[in-house]
Amino acid sequence: MLTTATLEKTLSLLDEGYTFASITEQTGITLEDVEAVYVVWFTGTSEQLFRELQLAGVLEVAAARLRSGQGWDEGTTGDVLREIQHVYPRRPIALTTGDIPVRTDVFIHGLGPHTLEALRQAVGQGLTLCGLDFADVDSIVVLRFTRPRAGEA
């Protein structure tokens, strides 16, 4: 699995001229991960990948706490949303070709039980998440869902 530590090691090995195969042996990450790291190494965009991996760690911890029923402090929601906004600056949500907009956006605030139920219902109806944006109000995220066209589900 790609982590900040394996990313650092992989970037170092790429600098030293190691082959993809030897990098997978030394780090334990997949060839696909090595190729992805190579792209950011070549384009000089590794800082964004570092931020994304750090965010993934934060989200994994948050998801584990929620699944365990522990929940989290009231201020944690805002902290997590600020982290997401830092990694993914605000941009308009674009629909991909073939998406059919449905119903309305889901506004999340506080991740209370009602929010989790709304997300479960959306997923249960076969909707797929296609975008994320931040509302003008602090700590509100807009998730855009679409329904796959017939025959694509």
Better-scored residue on pLDDT, 80 or 14: 14
Confidence band (pLDDT; 50, 70, 90) for 15? Answer: very high
Digit-coded pLDDT (tens) for 96-117 = 556 555 545 545 445 556 666 7
- Return the top range by mean pLDDT from 72-76, 84-88, 94-98: 84-88
* pTM score: 0.52
- For the segment 76-91, the average pLDDT, to the nearest whole number, is 75
| Residue in the block written with tokens 């590794």 | 46
